[in-house]
Amino acid sequence: MGQEVDLLINYPKAKRNVLERGQTKTEEDRKIARQFGKDFFDGDRRHGYGGYNYHPRFWTPVVPTFQKHYNLSASSSVLDVGCGKGFMLHDFQQAIPGISLTGIDVSPYAIEHAQESVKSCVSAADARNLPYPDHSFDLVISINTIHNLEKEELKKALKEIQRVSKGNSFITVDAYRNDEEKELMYAWNLTAKTILPVDEWKELFAEVGYTGDYFWFIP
């Protein structure tokens, strides 16, 4: 198995009233959010982002961390599984001119409204059946995406990430380390269907043969 490493350490941290969010979210809100359509990205805040727009302050400081950790260059190839509107891919493009970029997302809406600079390299597809040959990419990234699947389906996605990678991958998933974090995680959650304690995630990674790097999203 790979490293537990926080490659999002430079992503801006927002102040969140997590418990208040938990009190205001309903199962209907979660049902709408899990459709990953306009309501999730650009609709009411209770259904998702409340307007998912590009801003350089989010991914611009993160990309150099990935570049250094994986020694990425213009000759590298990167796949982003769950790329949304392609904002991170755009910042990779700006930071490493010439790098080969590919993004997939389960949401046709997100792909249709992707950042213009990366529209040619993103498409709608399913993480459980990635449409690429074995060992296609130098790095596969999936941030806060595969936990939106039920556990058995999530295992398929992990195996697919492992399959199309040449060896390097990085994922983040919803997790908790104690009862307090568990309470916050369930209050915050809007779309995840698989939320596990850290130790159980590591056991799952070992079970499916995932050898990439990983870290946790804990609000």
Q: How far apart are CA 28 and CA 39, in angstroms?
A: 12
Q: Give the C-alpha distances (Å, rounded to integers) separating 92 from 111, 130, 131, 195.
A: 17, 21, 22, 29
**Cβ atoms of residues 77 and 96 within 8 Å:** no
Per-residue model confidence (pLDDT) at position 180? 92
Per-residue model confidence (pLDDT) at position 21? 61
For the chain, what are the domain ranges?
18-217
**Cβ atoms of residues 119 and 101 within 8 Å:** no
| pTM: predicted TM-score of the whole model, two decimal places | 0.95
Per-residue model confidence (pLDDT) at position 25? 81
Q: How far apart are CA 71 and CA 67, in angstroms?
A: 5
Per-residue model confidence (pLDDT) at position 90? 98
Q: Report mean pLDDT in 10-residue bins for the chain, 219 residues.
A: 93 72 79 95 91 95 98 98 98 98 98 98 98 98 98 98 98 96 89 97 97 95
Per-residue model confidence (pLDDT) at position 22? 59
Give how far the C-alpha of residue 193 lies from the chain's centroid of Cα atoms, to the nearest Å.
14
User: CATH says 18-217 is which class?
Assistant: alpha beta
